[in-house]
């Protein structure tokens, strides 16, 4: 089943985010290689394609897991969690309708 994972950044998280990004992306790449990643990306802190030093307010990942518990465990192990990038992570079942 698909699950949405929404991480909410702490204030001024850009440096922490950049430091943890390679490990974070490596985990996402593993999901993609397994055919389990629908989409992933950050939420810029400002309404602009070029966020500059404004950073990000959070991220969205939609991926397939066997259960909500598995999705939550995967989210809890994210490098952005251990690095203090995310102040909160919410995991919910997701039903893809379109496209």
Total structural domains in the chain?
1
Q: What pLDDT score was predicted for residue 84?
A: 98
Q: What pLDDT score was predicted for residue 50?
A: 87
Residues of the chain with pLDDT under 50: none
Confidence (pTM): 0.95
Q: Whole-angstrom Cα distance, residue 55 to residue 67?
A: 32
User: Quick check: is 54 in a domain?
Assistant: yes
* Domain extent at residue 16: 2-94
Which of 61, 55, 95, 53 lies closest to 78, judged by CA? 61
Q: What pLDDT score was predicted for residue 51?
A: 82
User: Quick check: is 35 in a domain?
Assistant: yes
Q: What pLDDT score was predicted for residue 49?
A: 85
Question: The CATH number of the domain where 16 resides is what?
Answer: 3.30.70.1060
Q: What pLDDT score was predicted for residue 6?
A: 98
Residue 66 neighbours by CB under 8 Å, 6+ apart = 1
User: Quick check: is 45 in a domain?
Assistant: yes
User: Quick check: is 18 in a domain?
Assistant: yes
């Amino acid at each position: 089943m698909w699950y949405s994972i929404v991480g909410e950044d702490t204030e001024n998280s850009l440096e922490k985010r950049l430091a943890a990004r390679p490990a974070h992306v490596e985990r996402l790449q593993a999901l993609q290689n397994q055919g389990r990643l629908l989409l992933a990306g950050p939420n810029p802190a400002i309404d602009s394609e070029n966020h500059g030093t404004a950073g990000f307010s959070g991220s969205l990942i939609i991926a397939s897991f066997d259960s909500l518990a598995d999705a939550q465990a995967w989210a809890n192990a994210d490098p952005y969690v251990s690095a203090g990038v995310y102040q909160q992570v919410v995991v919910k079942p997701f039903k893809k309708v379109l496209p």
